[in-house]
Amino acid sequence: MIHSRYHRTPWESNLRLNRQNRSDQTKPLELDRMNTVSVVLPAYNEAACIGTLLDRIRDSLHGLDMTYEVVVVDDGSDDSTVEIVEQRAARMPIRILRHQRNSGYGAALQTGLLEAIPLSEVVITMDADDSHDPVLIPEMLKAIESGNDVVIASRMHRGGRVVGVPIHRRLLSEVASRVLRISMPVQGVRDFTSGYRAYRTTMLKSMVEHQAGGPLLSEKGFAAGLELLRKVRNGGATVTEVPLVLRYDRKMSASRMRILATSRDYLRLLSTPAGAGRSLRAVSIRGDDGWPHSRNPDRAAVVATVASDIIFVIGAFAAAYVLYGWALQVGWVEQPRPRILNLMEMAGLFGLVSVVVLWRSGQYRGRAAVLNIRLLQ
């Protein structure tokens, strides 16, 4: 159940007036006359940093010639997150929505989007842990004004970087990006997992209408961001990136991302056709989807090939661990190695991801393409 608490502020009358003006028009407002922006913040136990983030949002948007509103979705927090947000609501336009219990990032994101879409012409989504700097919002709005439907604040765009992220998390993000660029390519996109994005709401409205009463997002965890990106990509949206300096050093709350669970969700999402609700297991038993069945020769050989692919990926990680230790000893690098258990956990995950990518490209079928062109790809 969702409880909505809307704090009336001096900005409310302007927001309602802009919404009434839009409803009187026969055509949507052009973006060069953009008047309203909503910032959606899914939050769970972010009392340590959400107040500072809201102050940064206010400072970054206060001087812009437009009306803005922050939609905070409290996803069942049991700390003082809501109380801190309510204090800030006395000084800036904030709409608070509350889940009675923790439902996951995807559920909170969907709640915020459905609330914000009718309110504004552009929706900004951000993490509530203060690792995303709101000073980037004006640049993202300019990219929307120039004709893009989605703008991603990217750590991997030229000029982007990360601060304070552990080396194993950086490696995880980099490899995940490369895998996603192969399995779900989007022109101009390198950072598929960043939750800091700007969306043109006319595009989001059409997506909601297309769902015909169904949920906008089916993923409840962090894979919901990838699901939303896949939907806008399949809808023909124009997507671009702007460089992001991810300030993980400002994150005061514990990370809620469970690497194994999130990777499992990514695998299931990538293995399910767009618009389908089938699980990875349901897809994998169908020969037309690339997995071996009774017509394929020698199922045992295919299983052996899959196992060897995973073993080689894990072996590559192990070799990298040894080489990095040697480079550390001779002084070529300074940052210490990650724990071997963390590295092997990632190695296993990337082995599974590699199998999914090869399976989707048809490499485990009993027949091969001419000159093995698909394998080279």
What pairing do the DSSP bridges indicate for beta strands 67-75 and 150-154? unpaired
Tens-digit pLDDT profile for residues 335-368: 777 777 777 777 888 888 888 887 777 777 655 4
Nearest to 204 by CA among 187, 240, 229: 229
* pLDDT digits 0-9 by tens, 41-73: 999 999 999 999 999 999 999 888 889 999 999
Strand runs labelled E in the chain: 2-6, 36-43, 67-75, 94-99, 122-125, 150-154, 161-163, 197-200, 239-243, 245-247
Q: What is the mean pLDDT of residues 73-88?
A: 95
Percent of residues, the chain, with pLDDT higher than 90? 39
Would you state the pLDDT for residue 108? Answer: 96
What's the pLDDT score for residue 218?
A: 87
The least confident of 114-128, 267-281, 342-356 is 267-281
Looking at the chain, the whole-number percentage of residues with pLDDT higher than 70 is: 75
Q: Which CATH number applies to 2-270?
A: 3.90.550.10
| Tokens linked to 337 | 């190695």
What is the C-alpha separation between 165 and 272, in angstroms, rounded?
Answer: 31
Q: Which residue has the higher pLDDT, 374 or 143?
A: 143
Residue 14 confidence (pLDDT): 37
Q: Is residue 66 a contact partner of residue 145, using CB atoms and an 8 Å limit?
A: no
Structure tokens at 195: 């939750």
Please give the radius of gyration of the chain, using alpha carbons only, rounded to the nearest integer.
23
- pLDDT for the residue numbered 58: 95
pLDDT band at 275 (very low <50, low <70, confident <90, very high): low
- Give the per-residue pLDDT at 283: 29
Please list, in sequence order, all residues whose beta carbon lies within 8 angstroms of the beta carbon of residue 278, skipping any fewer than 6 positions away: 272
In this model, does residue 15 exceed pLDDT 80? no
Q: What distances in angstroms separate CA 376 from CA 19, 227, 281, 311, one per listed residue?
A: 53, 28, 27, 20
Q: How far apart are CA 92 and CA 70, in angstroms?
A: 8
Which of the pair, 316 or 240, is modelled with greater confidence?
A: 240
- pLDDT tens for 177-201 read 777 787 788 888 999 989 999 999 9
> From the DSSP assignment, how many helices (H) and strands (E) are in the chain?
13, 10
Q: Is the pLDDT of residue 97 over 60?
A: yes
Q: Which residue has the tokens 């499992």?
A: 264
- The closest alpha carbon to 253, from 119, 94, 84, 101, belongs to 84
By 3-state DSSP, what share of the chain in percent is helix, strand and coil, each rounded to 5? 50, 15, 35
Is pLDDT above 60 for 290?
A: no
Q: How would residue 84 be classed by pLDDT, with cut points 50, 70 and 90?
A: very high
Indicate the domain borders of the chain.
2-270, 288-376
Closest CA to 129 of 105, 160, 152: 105
The three-class DSSP label of residue 83 is helix
Q: 14: Cβ–Cβ under 8 A, 6 or more apart, which residues?
A: 67
How do strand 197-200 and strand 67-75 relate by DSSP bridges? unpaired
| Cβ neighbours for 79, distance < 8 A, ≥ 6 positions apart | 45, 47
Q: Which of 270-274, 289-293, 357-361 has the lowest mean pLDDT?
A: 289-293
pLDDT of residue 22 exceeding 50, the answer is no
Task: Give the mean model confidence (pLDDT) for residues 237-252.
Answer: 90
The pLDDT tens digits of the residues spanning 226-241 come to 999 999 988 889 999 9
More confident residue, 85 or 219: 85
